C-alpha cells in the first residue's frame, strides 16, 4: 500500500527551557515522512524547498523509502522558515516567525508515479494547497486525513472549511479544536467538527494523550509519561505520520484498527520529543518502536471485575 504525504520541508529555530537551536531541518512533511516510513514504503512526498535545503537530508529521506519526485526545488528562493519559543510547561509555545518564502507560491502537481495511492496525509499547509492535491488525484484514496493549525484558522478559515468537506479525518490539537468551533467542551467541539465534513476526528492533547471520535464512539489513548520532554516540535506531525503509516501498512480503516494506529502514533511522538528536531526519529530502531508500543499496552491494560 502506498501513502502520499504533503507538508512543509523547512528550517526551524526552536527555543525550549532546555536550550536553543539555530536553523535546523524541520517542517510538517519531514516529520510525517520520517515517522511513516517506519511502517510503509513508499512514502510519496509532496512539498516545496528552496536552494538552501540540505542535500544530505534529501538523501537520508530517499534511503528510508521516501519518494521525492513530488518535491519542487526553487533555485532562487529560500525554504520555509518557522521559529518558536516553548513556555516552561512545554505544552504551549509562541510563534516568533513564519517566513513563507517558497511556500508563498506553492502550487503542487502530482507526479504520475504517485497516482493510485490508497492513502493521503495532508500535513499542515495552506488549505487551498491541500484542496488542490485532493483535486489532482485521479482516484480518491481509501482514507484522506488532514492536519491544520491556528495560523490557517486566522488567515484562511473559509478555505479551511471547504477542505474539511473533502476529507475523511481531521487530526488537530485541543486548542485548535476549540478555535475551529468556538466551543470549550471538547465533546461539543468534536460533535461540531464531525458535522463539518470529516467522519473521523483525532484530538491530540499533548502530554494528556489523544481522543478518537467517530459517530457516537470515542476512544482515548494516553501519552507515555516521560521523564524529560526536550523539544515537542513536530510531535503532532510525527503522531500523524505514525498513525497513517500504520493504517497504510495494514490497509484496514476500521475503527478498531484506528485505535491501534493511535497507539503507534503516540509511540512515535514519544520518541520525537526526546531530542531537538527530527534527530531522534532518524536513529530509532524497529526494536525500540516495538518495545515502546508494548509499554503503551502495559500502561493501559487492566482487568476489573464488576460485581
Considering only residues 248 to 307 of the shown chain, the ones binding ligand AMP according to CB under 6 A are none
Tell me whether residue 45 is exposed, middle or buried, using C-beta atoms within 10 angstroms of its C-beta: 0 to 12, 13 to 18, 19 or more. buried
Number of residues that bind ligand AMP (CB under 6 A): 17
Grid cell for residue 261:
494506529
Residue with Cβ nearer ligand AMP (25 or 289): 25
**176 interacts with ligand AMP by CB under 6 A:** no
Q: Which of residues 14 and 189 has its CB atom nearest to ligand AMP in the complex?
A: 14
Sign of CA dihedral 133, 138, 139, 140: positive
Stretch that binds ligand AMP, among 42-50, 221-229, 234-242, 247-255 (CB under 6 A): 234-242
Q: Are strands 80-86 and 93-99 parallel, antiparallel or unpaired?
A: antiparallel
> What is the smallest separation between the CB atom of 234 and ligand AMP, expressed in angstroms?
5
Instruction: Report the residue number, 88 or 305, with the smaller CB distance to ligand AMP.
Output: 88
**Shorter beta-carbon distance to ligand AMP: residue 118 or 230:** 230
Nearer to ligand AMP, 16 or 124 (CB): 124
Residue from 16, 27, 79, 108 binding ligand AMP (CB under 6 A): 27
Per CB under 6 A, does 124 bind ligand AMP?
Answer: yes
- Grid cell for residue 216: 457516537
Other beta carbons less than 10 A from residue 272's beta carbon: 29
Is residue 28 involved in binding ligand AMP (CB under 6 A)?
Answer: yes
Rounded distance between C-alpha atoms, residue 135 and residue 252, angstroms? 24
Min dist CB 222 to ligand AMP, Å, is 19
Report d(CA 295, CA 292) in Å as an integer: 5
Nearest to ligand AMP of 110, 268 (CB atom): 268
8 binds ligand AMP (CB under 6 A): yes
The candidate with the shortest Cα–Cα distance to 163, out of 178, 188, 182, 144, is: 144
**By CB under 6 A, which span of 23-31, 159-167, 193-201, 292-300 interacts with ligand AMP?**
23-31
Using the rule CB under 6 A, which residue among 39, 53, 82, 243 binds ligand AMP? 82
DSSP string, 130-158: HHHHHHH-SS--SEEEEE--HHHHHHHHH
Give the torsion through C-alpha atoms of 257, 61, 7, 133, to 10 deg.
-80
Within 10 angstroms of residue 257's Cβ, the number of other Cβ atoms is 14
Q: Which of 50, 70, 127, 234 binds ligand AMP (CB under 6 A)?
A: 234
Q: Which helix (H) or strand (E) holds 69?
A: strand 66-73
How many helices, marked H, and strands, marked E, lie in the chain? 10, 14
Q: How far is the CB of 124 from ligand AMP (least distance, A)?
A: 4
The 94-113 site mask, x for binding ligand AMP (CB under 6 A), equals ----x---------------
Residue 125 binds to ligand AMP (criterion: CB under 6 A): yes
Interface with ligand AMP includes 118 (CB under 6 A)? Answer: no
Per DSSP, 233 falls in state T
DSSP single-letter state for residue 101: G
At closest approach, how far in Å is the CB of 213 from ligand AMP?
A: 20
**Positions that interact with ligand AMP (CB under 6 A):** 8, 10, 12, 26-28, 82, 98, 124-125, 149, 151, 233-237
Amino acid at each position: 500500500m502506498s501513502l502520499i504525504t504533503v507538508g512543509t520541508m523547512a528550517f526551524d529555530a526552536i527555543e525550549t527551557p532546555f536550550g536553543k537551536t539555530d536553523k535546523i531541518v524541520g517542517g510538517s512533511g519531514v516529520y510525517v515522512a520520517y515517522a511513516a516510513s517506519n511502517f510503509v514504503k513508499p512514502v510519496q512526498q509532496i512539498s516545496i524547498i528552496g536552494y538552501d535545503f540540505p542535500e544530505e537530508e534529501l538523501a537520508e529521506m530517499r534511503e528510508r523509502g521516501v519518494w521525492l519526485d513530488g518535491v519542487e526545488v526553487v533555485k532562487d528562493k529560500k525554504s520555509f522558515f518557522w521559529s518558536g519559543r516553548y513556555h516552561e510547561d512545554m505544552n504551549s509555545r509562541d510563534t516568533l516567525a513564519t517566513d513563507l518564502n517558497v511556500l508563498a507560491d506553492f502550487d503542487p502537481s502530482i507526479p504520475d508515479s504517485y497516482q493510485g495511492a490508497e492513502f493521503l496525509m495532508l500535513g499542515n499547509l495552506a488549505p487551498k494547497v491541500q484542496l488542490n492535491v485532493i483535486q489532482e488525484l485521479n482516484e480518491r484514496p481509501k482514507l484522506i486525513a488532514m492536519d491544520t493549525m491556528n495560523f490557517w484558522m486566522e488567515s484562511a478559515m473559509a478555505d479551511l472549511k471547504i477542505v474539511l468537506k473533502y476529507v475523511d479525518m481531521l487530526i488537530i490539537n485541543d486548542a485548535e479544536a476549540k478555535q475551529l468551533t468556538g466551543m470549550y467542551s471538547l465533546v461539543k467541539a468534536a460533535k461540531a467538527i464531525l458535522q463539518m465534513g470529516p467522519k473521523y476526528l483525532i484530538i491530540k492533547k499533548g502530554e494528556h494523550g489523544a481522543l478518537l471520535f467517530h459517530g457516537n464512539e470515542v476512544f482515548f489513548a494516553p501519552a507515555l509519561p516521560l521523564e524529560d520532554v526536550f523539544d515537542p516540535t513536530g510531535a503532532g506531525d510525527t503522531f500523524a505520520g505514525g498513525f497513517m503509516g500504520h493504517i497504510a501498512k495494514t490497509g484496514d480503516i476500521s475503527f478498531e484498527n484506528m485505535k491501534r494506529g493511535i497507539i503507534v502514533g503516540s509511540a512515535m511522538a514519544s520518541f520525537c520529543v526526546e531530542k531537538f528536531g527530527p534527530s531522534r526519529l532518524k536513529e530509532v530502531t524497529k526494536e525500540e518502536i516495538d518495545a515502546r508500543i508494548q509499554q503503551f499496552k502495559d500502561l493501559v491494560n487492566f482487568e476489573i471485575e464488576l460485581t
